[in-house]
Structure 1
């Protein structure tokens, strides 16, 4: 995160695109192994990954350390085919665009592959993709699979996995860390929260532990990505809107509320707006990145779902008298974004029957208590903004936001804001 008073810089050193990344893959099989052939974008480097198919319940992956040319790779595949002719030789399985991960239920391991993709945007030459088709393949050959692989429970778990639609709201990049903001991608400082927005982190754990790299896998971010062009006067710009949803403590609206013991709030979403000046290639470009974070009120509270009650009562727990979980949450935000943290509280001020206002009072008390332990310059800046009240009046939307921004100026509003709304 940039400092409070810093203005957008004219940037010439943007993240570079490297040809070291593998971006297209071909999967082959023999009776004893899968062979995945990966190549770089400019077809200058070819690598080989071998996955053992002889173990019914274990996953053994080996990466060939050699970087091949295209002709050398073809020769290698021919030798593998000739050496396995007695058991059917080498067979082409599919073209794919990265491994989503490996998973095991009761029996064999399965491999999840991206088999079709589409480009949805470009950031400084780095392509961003969405998944249009994926496949799941069992690793062991059918001749070594146990009866558990065909059991009723195994099939049920497999169907549950297949019900996750990877073609909706997931995106990835081979060369750009889409799980990080543009500002962090420019920074040489490594973040300690690398996998907060990586939804397939668990699925890739086994292969990463064995290979110690992520050449063969993609890191999936769940949220929203949109890039549009716009003009203001005689200048052209590219506007990119990115939303990243945390994989921690995520859930549906009423089933996940508040904060957990680790300081994770329900439905934590980081939203980034990047504006690029559209200039010819080779010219210095001005780029502005604004990041805001929203999430559930960091208190222990819940709501009981009911089809008969569209506004279920809010149940506020009193088990965290010292607000330790709330404190952990803001310590985590400070590590992610730096100080000061500005809290923009959007819940209602007045209600006929107190619901949200109960949280408002408790939240204010929590911040007051936490701030007593912080030095003046690091204290949480708390701003109330009754969104419901201002949305009902007759001022236009632009006037409402101008009023809000003028209220924020007393805090020297930085380029990262924390929003709370239920």
Structure 2
């Protein structure tokens, strides 16, 4: 399916001036004067004002170039402004440039900290170290010209003119890494500065298919719900959101057409955890809860509403503790007649090198997979539960 670009598409500025004054920061587009557009952030209390509300005749103490604003976060003693200090072009997404963040910085707006108690200063210093870790977050992508959080199949179903809205209004909040940080900018209606960031991965390759030039893009979008590191965050919450949920989309562009294949993955949607200790493989614990069936139902209801027909593929081991978890998953899926469940012991069949054996899995789901692809009203997609 082909999407024609709109001449009236909303587009963000791609470079900004950061002006530092003794009492405030000012952000304004490079190609305009400070009073034609922009905003200020008070360095004492973090209060944000549009420049038409905060004119200044002073000269800045420092002027630098930034490439976007990631939002603001309020800690104990004040606010911090997140700005993108460096970037690199990663390729193009549906014809629009896409960039990778290579540098970010939190600018402190907390001069009131000097009036804080010793304990408050200690607490603020601890939280500042967490912000420093956020500054080094890997795999952040963005575009000034289009939203990259929506897959092609959803984009094709949106109403005409949706791409004339501010980019943050086009975005899927599930995949906007800095959604909470953008709240104050959204409240101030600073649409031209609100830049959604996607955490995930992006790769693109050019090749020939039957002598026709083609472009293949692979983009993964990490969900912001129930985040956490491996071992520490497992299973689902009571709302049905699973740990480390990722949507991966493969787009093939050839002869003016675009084709999309979707796959999502996440932790097995039961209430379970791993007791982290010094062992190489911590013990699994399945939490017995009366709401477990509802959790599974909520999880797959949400998937079906978003993606259409679902094939759930369980890739965990069929023996040991993982086997018990897989059995519990299969038991719950037997109660859910609307979703096809397939158990495939990936480690047993494929090991670490025999990936050709994935043909065994395709023999089980191939017919249904092809059938999904022929249905225009249903995206072609499968779900993997393989967080072990």
Give the TM-score taking structure 2 as reference length. 0.85
The corresponding residue for 1:265 is: 242
CA gap 1:224/1:390 in 2 versus in 1, 3 angstroms: same
Q: State the 1:130 CA deviation.
A: 0.9
Alignment map for 1:11-410 (pairs within 5 Å)? 11=2, 13-14=4-5, 18=9, 20-38=11-29, 47-53=36-42, 56-62=44-50, 64=52, 80=56, 83-84=57-58, 89-139=59-109, 146-148=114-116, 151-166=121-136, 168-188=138-158, 194-211=172-189, 213-277=190-254, 285-307=256-278, 309-320=279-290, 323-338=293-308, 340-349=309-318, 351=319, 354-371=320-337, 379-392=338-351, 397-398=355-356, 400-410=357-367
Choose between structure 1 and 2 for higher RCO, CA contacts under 8 A separated by at least 6 residues. Answer: 1
Residue segments in structure 2 that go unaligned for 5+ positions in a row: 163-168, 374-379
Q: State the 1:13 CA deviation.
A: 2.3
Deviations 1:314-371 (A, max 9, x none): 2111113551111111121122212x1111111223x2xx311112221122122233
CA contact (8 A) 1:33 1:50 kept: no
Deviations 1:72-95 (A, max 9, x none): xxxx9xx94xx33xxxx3344311
Deviations 1:193-229 (A, max 9, x none): 8210111111111111122x53213211111111122
CA gap 1:250/1:289 in 2 versus in 1, 3 angstroms: same
The corresponding residue for 1:5 is: none
Q: State the 1:118 CA deviation.
A: 0.5
CA gap 1:16/1:317 in 2 versus in 1, 3 angstroms: farther
Q: Secondary structure at the match of 1:163?
A: helix
Partners of 1:15 and 1:44 lie apart in 2 by: 28
Q: State the 1:297 CA deviation.
A: 0.5
CA gap 1:21/1:403 in 2 versus in 1, 3 angstroms: same
Partners of 1:17 and 1:193 lie apart in 2 by: 18
Partners of 1:420 and 1:15 lie apart in 2 by: 38
CA gap 1:112/1:321 in 2 versus in 1, 3 angstroms: closer
CA gap 1:262/1:391 in 2 versus in 1, 3 angstroms: same
Deviations 1:107-128 (A, max 9, x none): 1211111011110011233111
Partners of 2:209 and 2:13 lie apart in 1 by: 38
CA contact (8 A) 1:347 1:360 kept: yes
**Length, aligned pairs only:** 369
Deviations 1:264-308 (A, max 9, x none): 10110111111122xxxxxx612111110000110011111232x
Partners of 2:291 and 2:73 lie apart in 1 by: 40
CA contact (8 A) 1:28 1:91 kept: yes
Q: State the 1:50 CA deviation.
A: 2.6
Give the TM-score taking structure 1 as reference length. 0.79
Q: Secondary structure at the match of 2:207?
A: strand
